[in-house]
């Protein structure tokens, strides 16, 4: 089982998650769009056992502290294979238009749709879910979904930014809707929700 703690970062209150495999103490962080001293203090208290930095997609508010955090703890950066260009291209990741200082970097592990990897004794699965961008994906473990900007409570990610696509968003939401069972959804921003709730109330998901 993986324990999840959320540390909001950036002016957009990105839900940066600290994941700890309870059996081994090995840890990961998702979507560190900016530095959180509180998060780093917790990692240090836990022995600095950060294995991975996970990126759901490549917008600046999800990636801008990824390289620094990974380098500090010797962690590997993990994301979907289609997200690779966003880690290099300032027009795609939004740092250029927002005049944010950014040094391009590369991921250590590029995942294909459906691939899994281990965090300690726990398994994490990656699903490719384009729509908000062509690089978007989600991470699934236990009964938790790290959804990035695919889905929010009663809403879903915008598609009017570079590489966003309405048809791909609808297809990705349909795929998530049809997953077996239920998941607690940790969206990229805002309150947590449940997949069962979104199946009934999400305005686009209800139509699919």
For 100-130, what is each residue's pLDDT tens digit?
999 999 999 999 999 999 999 999 999 999 9
pLDDT of residue 6: 98
Q: What is the mean pLDDT of the chain?
A: 97
Q: How confident is the model over 27-40, as pLDDT tens digits?
A: 999 999 999 999 99
* CATH value at residue 85: 3.60.15.10
Domain count of the chain?
1
Residue pair 157/202 in contact by the 8 Å Cβ criterion: no
Distance CA(90)–CA(82), nearest Å, equals 16
- pLDDT over 70, % of the chain: 100
Tokens of 206: 């209800």
The contacts found for 84-92 with CB under 8 angstroms, 24 or more apart, are: 84/110, 84/135, 85/58, 85/135, 86/57, 86/58, 86/59, 86/133, 86/135, 87/55, 87/58, 87/63, 91/162, 92/58, 92/133, 92/162, 92/163
pLDDT of residue 161: 96
pLDDT of residue 20: 98
pLDDT of residue 1: 97
Tokens of 143: 């009964």
Q: Which domain holds residue 188?
A: 2-207
pLDDT of residue 52: 98
Residue pair 144/4 in contact by the 8 Å Cβ criterion: yes
For residues 168-197, average pLDDT: 98
pLDDT of residue 164: 98
């Amino acid at each position: 089982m993986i324990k999840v703690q959320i540390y909001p970062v950036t002016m957009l209150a990105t839900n940066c998650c600290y994941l700890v495999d309870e059996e081994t103490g090995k840890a990961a962080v998702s979507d560190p769009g900016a530095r959180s001293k509180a998060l780093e203090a917790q990692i240090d208290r836990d022995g600095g056992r950060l294995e991975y930095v996970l990126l759901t997609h490549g917008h600046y508010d999800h990636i801008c502290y990824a390289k620094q955090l990974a380098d500090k703890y010797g962690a590997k950066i993990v994301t979907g294979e289609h997200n690779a260009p966003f880690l290099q291209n300032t027009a795609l990741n939004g740092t250029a238009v927002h005049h944010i200082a950014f040094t391009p970097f590369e991921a250590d592990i590029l995942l294909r749709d459906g691939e899994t990897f281990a965090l300690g004794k726990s398994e994490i699965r990656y699903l490719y879910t384009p729509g908000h961008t062509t690089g978007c994906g989600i991470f699934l473990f236990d009964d938790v979904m790290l959804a990035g900007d695919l889905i929010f409570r009663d809403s879903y990610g915008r598609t009017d930014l570079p590489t966003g696509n309405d048809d791909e968003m609808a297809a990705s939401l349909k795929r998530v809707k049809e997953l077996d069972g239920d998941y607690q959804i940790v969206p990229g921003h805002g309150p947590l929700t449940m997949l069962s709730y979104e199946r009934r109330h999400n305005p686009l998901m209800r139509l699919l």
